[in-house]
Structure 1
Amino acid sequence: MTIANRAAKKAWRVTAALLPALLVFAPIAASAAPQAEQQPWWATAVIYEIYPRSFQDTNGDGIGDLKGVTQRLDYLEKLGVDAIWLTPFFPSPNKDFGYDVADYTNVSPEYGTMADWDELTREARKRGIRVMVDFVLNHSSDQHAWFKESRSSRNNPKRDWYVWKDPAPDGGPPTNWESIFGGSTWEYDKATGQYYYHVFYKEQPDLNWANPELRKAMHDVVRFWLDHGASGFRLDATPYLFEDPNWPDDPDVKGGPLPGLKPYNSNLPATRAALRDLRKLTDSYPGQRVLLGENAISSIEDLRRIYGANADEINLPMDFLYTGVKSLDAATFKARIDEAHLQLDGLPPVFHFSNHDTSRQWTRFGDGQNDDRIARLTAAMTLTLRGTALMYYGEELGMADLPADLLKDFPLGPKRTVADKRDPERSPMQWTGGDAAGFTTGSPWLPVHPNRSTVNAERQQADSGSMFHWYARLLQLRKNHPALRDGAYVPLQSGNRDVVAYARRTPSGAGVLVLLNMSGQRQQLKITGWTGSAPKAGEIIMQSAPAGAANLYDPVLAPFATQILSIVPENHE
């Protein structure tokens, strides 16, 4: 039995009879027998990002580990995710908490061993869950053995594995470029009299992908993890593998594009070629291995190029145009959603909000009064669109960013040597309402959120009207309902600037209508834009607020309400 079929067979179901009045679920007759998989698993997958340091600690040291992920696989299976993406768990000095890699083919002792990794992939496979590795391909740590050799002398065989340049005529940096994390992109090495290049921290020197031996070594890293059961990779910082070989000065350092979008360091043709090579390598393995890519874009045209002219580069480039919407604005979201579905040549979009670098959506969009309804709305939007969806650990519980004053008073130490501006969204997973939220029996590396007594997995799994159950039902719908699994996107108009409306339909005309009121007021709609024969209303499948009968043409929505309705062809009896 394939992973997809096993997961579909074991999809967890919530009965409507158990649910409170504000959370109405109607049965879905069409989802009883899932159709055979018609496209790669990743094209419709829900991928759950885990920050291992904060997910589950099993040895009491206050730092999450790989055994902790394995321990929680049953929970993830119950939730219904298709794959998990683990942020870096490699040996690292933790200047950037794992994104400064000191050994690409090993597990940091604080996270466990290679045996723990092998057990994790083995146990995940039993539950129909794939495991993806976060591959930091642009740079290593300055503590990596490769860089130590590279900086040891100008004649070292690995000197050219990194980017070294002579000083400018005045003795200063070779160019005036600025790092994404601030300051110059160049760091002077007194021992050898040259500068090395780093687009991020100075402790993260850029690898030289123009060097054939370095490229072979990185391909060997890919093979290592694929041979050890990885189903693919989330590629970190993909735009920056190559720089303009002429090394021009920036005519407007403080203006123009942001440091990560400069024409001399972002998405150069050589970078695209290197990504095509990585794609060929992953495609050579069985099991539909996948590349999920971080990128730097400013338009939908930029995003389309990252798939490759022949869809032969990154399988799944993350849509940061959608992610970058910071306020609950229906017109902006509708524009981002429409362009992703209509201007990517049918390739699968990748939608997400929260991650290890980005404020949690509960905090970002919440207004302090309607946070629960708003969180259900953003969840429904991401998970009912066509393509691939990413979730961040704890999102399904409504976890929020840590309060700034709590972090300010939390001491630094061996487990947290630096205070990172991204710490608020990296707090320990809230499993229970206890002091350490069930994350550890020791002292956690970051403080646990004060709301853990009410926002935790134990409590929410026992409450059929909880955020957890809302997410689980959405994942069940996405997997089993023909229109949400395989249906086309229909870009409807709501007749109301505060409401997003769209449909997903199968060739037969059946499907679902999704309505999202992004305002704090009751809204009257006039739905237009149906293609083909006009549909009829079926039933309300899910809703976050009370409403009347299913209405496809002029419904009324309560403040911040979500409605998902079934639709049937006009000639349906």
Structure 2
Amino acid sequence: MQKLWYKNAIFYSLDVETFMDSDGDGIGDFQGLTKRLDHLSGLGITCLWLLPFYPSPNRDNGYDVMDYYNVDPRLGTLGDFVEFMHQASDRGIRVLVDLVVNHTSIQHPWFQQARSDKHSKYHDYYVWSENPPKTKPEQIIFSGVEDSLWEYDKQADAYYLHHFYKEQPDLNIANPAVREEIYKIMGFWLQLGVSGFRIDAAPFLINPLGISDCPDLQTFLKDMREFITSRRGDAIVFAEANVSSEKIPVYFGNGDRCQMLFNFLLNQYMFLALARKDSQTLLDGLKSLPDIPNIGQWLNFVRHHDELNLDLISDSERQEIFQAFAPEKNMQIFGRGVRRRLPPMLRGERRRIELTYSVLFSLPGTPLLRYGEEIGMGEDLSLEGRNSVRTVMQWSNALNGGFSTASSDVLTRPVIKEGEYGYKQVNVTDQQRDPNSLINWMEHIIRIRKQCPEFGCGKWQILETDQPCVFAHCCESEGESAIALHNLGDYSCTVTLKSDEYNHLIDIFGDSQYEPLDINLPSIPIKAYGYRWFRVK
């Protein structure tokens, strides 16, 4: 089971740059993160996923990497990283890092040599064309920002491929030398103690666009997995792949490729279900997921560092979500997503916020929290693009929310100052003093979730009820069963499970204190936006 540790882990995602500043320069760093490990340990986090912390011009939040073997000097040193890893291990917290190898920064030494000398070995590290094909509108990732996948480079007198910003030229994964470089990168960080990697932009990594005489790039996922396992048997690789259901098996293979995959499809159905206040939509989302190998696992999430991407559902369904949660144009991005955090989307309604996270923690798979979700942070829509949901962590009601002692005008990202989500209203310190706060509720649900491993590794089934607003499912593992009921509707009701297998249920978690169930009565009361978890005896 040690190799399957990820099935019942509690994941937490953060950007070192915006988490905690230790030296007063306005930029979060590894020393600051190390000092906040007790916060994460106390919350119940068992695995940290770190966004890129490598040297970078920061054209794309650090995803334009200049050096894969170092730490951005603003964030600390390799020594600081090693000390952080030691302290995290002491607290039983594993660490995963981003593997950003679909592209590099245009300032990476590889690209600088590639553009200056066509005979250099580094020229073939990238994808070039003298007469590139015309880009189709649907191929553009950053719609409204970029208008082509190809950028002319005067120095090289050729066009290079870039799926993202033009400052991020794509690597030529078909080149064996590039794959060897990637193995070296993974080996370096594994040697420093990481427990695996999150593959950024996985669909584009295995896309042969612009590559002639291309081998089957999908096999590279298997090769990566074999390399990682050979260096550390319990290390994992999980992929960012926002793809349709029929393409998902590519990333799991026969259990010999990625162990985990972000559950983008179910995430989009979940928000559609919340907008409709209807359980059938969420059930449809679960049913749409393909079967995956036993070693495979879904990583479920409410929000992450990018926009809430809605491109796997229909245009009309996307408009339903926009109307419910992002009705104004500046709340939307790229024509397909929402650039907001959850609490403002739900108008700060605590019971709906709790309901959403209760769904998250009980869905089949592993839950992921993003920094600030434990206190209900909001967004700053005055910031450009995705930066609206990347404001600094709010630790206290002190200057800059306790993130930094620097002057506010030099912070790496602004702190939310005004309104109901400003740091004086929403912060860790104040909430820890309030027994009814969201952070204490989060600690509670994480503790209960750890006591219900069935949700992480059990076989799940949907339970039929007589209430269309109630989503009910059961997970079973090694003879133990856990059931979760969620009322997505805005009215209280009494639920009857259409099965006589689950008459004797024991409450273990819920939105309020309900009367004990009568074993002879199969009906279960549940409040508006309520949730109840049960053990089956």
Once the two structures are overlaid, the 10-residue window that deviates more, 103-112 or 492-501, is: 492-501
Partner of 1:303: 248
1:180 touches 1:199 (CA, 8 Å); kept in 2?
Answer: yes
Other-structure match for 2:23:
59
Separation of aligned partners in 1, 2:156 and 2:286: 51
Tell me which of 362, 367, 378 is aligned to 1:384: 362
- How far 1:516 moved relative to its partner? 1.0
Q: Which amino acid aligns with 1:396?
A: E
Question: Percent identity of the aligned residues?
Answer: 34
**1:482/1:101 CA distance change after superposition, 3 Å:** closer
Q: Which has the higher helix share?
A: 2
Matched, 1:293 2:261: no
Most deviating of 540-549 and 198-207: 540-549
The answer to whether residue 501 in structure 2 is matched with residue 514 in structure 1 is: no
1:472 paired residue number: 443
Give the match for residue 139 of structure 1.
103
The answer as to whether partners of 2:7 and 2:456 remain within 8 angstroms in 1 is no
Residue 475 of structure 2: aligned partner:
504
Q: Is the counterpart of residue 528 in structure 1 residue 498 in structure 2?
A: yes
**Structure 2 CA distance for aligned equivalents of residues 137 and 38 of structure 1:** 28
Q: State which of 376, 381, 385 in structure 2 corresponds to 1:398.
A: 376
Q: Which residue of 2 aligns with 1:184?
A: 148
CA contact (8 A) 2:196 2:235 kept: yes
**What SS is found at the alignment partner of 1:378?**
helix
TM-score when normalising by structure 2: 0.85
Partner of 1:110: 74
Cα separation, partners in 2 of 1:202 and 1:567, compared to 1, 3 Å: same
Residues 38 and 275 (structure 1 numbering): CA distance in 2 closer, same or farther, change over 3 Å?
A: closer
User: Which residue number corresponds to residue 283 of structure 1?
Assistant: 229
Residue 357 of structure 2 aligns with an amino acid whose one-letter code is: A
How far apart in 2 are the matches of 1:289 and 1:116? 22
- AA paired with 2:505? A
- Given that residues 240 and 271 in structure 1 are in contact (C-alpha distance below 8 angstroms), is that contact kept between their aligned partners in structure 2? no
Shift of 1:179: 3.2
Equivalent position of 1:315 in the other structure: 259
Corresponding residue for residue 23 of structure 1: none
Partner amino acid, structure 2, of 1:193: D
Pairs aligned (count): 485
CA contact (8 A) 1:322 1:352 kept: no
Whole-Å separation in 2 of the counterparts to 1:364 and 1:349: 26
Are the counterparts in 2 of residues 174 and 195 from structure 1 also a CA contact under 8 Å? no
- Deviations, residues 358-417 of structure 1 (Å, cap 9, x unaligned): 345524751x26x21111111111112232221101111111222x24x3xxxxxxxxxx
Deviation of the 1:145 alpha carbon: 0.4
Contact kept, 8 Å, 1:528 with 1:553, in 2: the verdict is no
- Counterpart of 1:383, as a letter, is F
Structure 1 residues 150-177: Cα deviation after superposition (integer angstroms, max 9, x where no partner) = 000212221100001112xxxxx44334
Shift of the 145–456 alpha-carbon distance from structure 1 to 2, 3 Å rule, reads same
- Sort the Cα spacing of 1:271 and 1:375 in 2 relative to 1 into closer, same or farther, 3 A: farther
8 Å contact 2:15–2:50 — kept in the other structure? yes
**Partner of residue 537 from structure 1, selected from 470, 489, 505:** 505
Q: How far apart are the structure 2 equivalents of 1:378 and 1:192?
A: 51
Change in Cα spacing, 1:193 to 1:74, as seen in structure 2 (3 Å) is same
Cα distance in 1 for residues equivalent to 2:373 and 2:429: 15
8 Å contact kept, 1:43–1:387: yes
Distance 1:245 1:398, change over 3 A: closer
1:91-240 correspondence runs (5 A)? 91-167=55-131, 173-177=132-136, 178-181=139-142, 182-240=146-204
- 8 Å contact 1:208–1:242 — kept in the other structure? no
Q: Name structure 1 gaps, 5 residues minimum.
A: 1-36, 168-172, 249-267, 408-418, 569-573
Instruction: Give the letter aligned to residue 123 of structure 2.
Output: R
Q: What CA distance in whole angstroms lies between the structure 2 residues aligned with 1:175 and 1:155?
A: 27
**In 2, Cα distance between the equivalents of 1:207 and 1:514?**
45
Distance in 2 separating the partners of 1:138 and 1:41 = 27
What is the Cα deviation at residue 337 of structure 1? 2.9
Q: CA deviation at 1:39?
A: 5.8
Instruction: Name the residue aligned to 1:447.
Output: 414
Deviation track 1:312-338 (CA, whole Å, cap 9, x = no partner) reads 111101111022233404322222234
The residue number in structure 1 matching 2:313 is none
Of 354, 364, 374, the match for 2:303: 354
Could you tell me how far apart the structure 1 residues matched to 2:190 and 2:509 are?
A: 39
Tell me by how many angstroms 1:520 deviates.
Answer: 1.6
1:546 Cα deviation from its structure 2 partner: 4.7
- When the two chains are superposed, the root-mean-square deviation of aligned CA atoms in Å is 2.2
In 2, the alpha carbon distance for the partners of 1:560 and 1:460 equals 23
1-structure distance, mates of 2:81, 2:292? 36
Moved more, 326-335 or 289-298: 326-335
Deviation at 1:287, TM superposition (A): 4.8
Unmatched segments (≥5 aa) in structure 2: 308-338
Using the alignment, how far apart are the partners of 1:529 and 1:150 within structure 2? 65
Pair 505,269 (structure 1): closer, same or farther in 2 beyond 3 Å: farther
1:74 aligns with 2:23: no
Report if aligned partners of 1:550, 1:565 keep a CA contact under 8 Å in 2.
Answer: no
TM score, norm. by length of structure 1:
0.80
- Cα distance, 1:84 vs. partner? 0.2
Q: State the Cα distance separating 1:219 from its structure 2 match.
A: 1.0
CA shift for structure 1 position 189: 1.4
> Residues 427 and 130 from structure 1, CA distance in 2 versus in 1: closer, same or farther, beyond 3 angstroms?
same
Task: Tell me the CA shift for residue 246 of structure 1.
Answer: 7.0
Q: Distance in 2 between matches of 1:483 and 1:315?
A: 18
Cα distance between partner residues in 1 of 2:31 and 2:249? 38
Counterpart-to-counterpart distance in 2, 1:564 and 1:269? 49
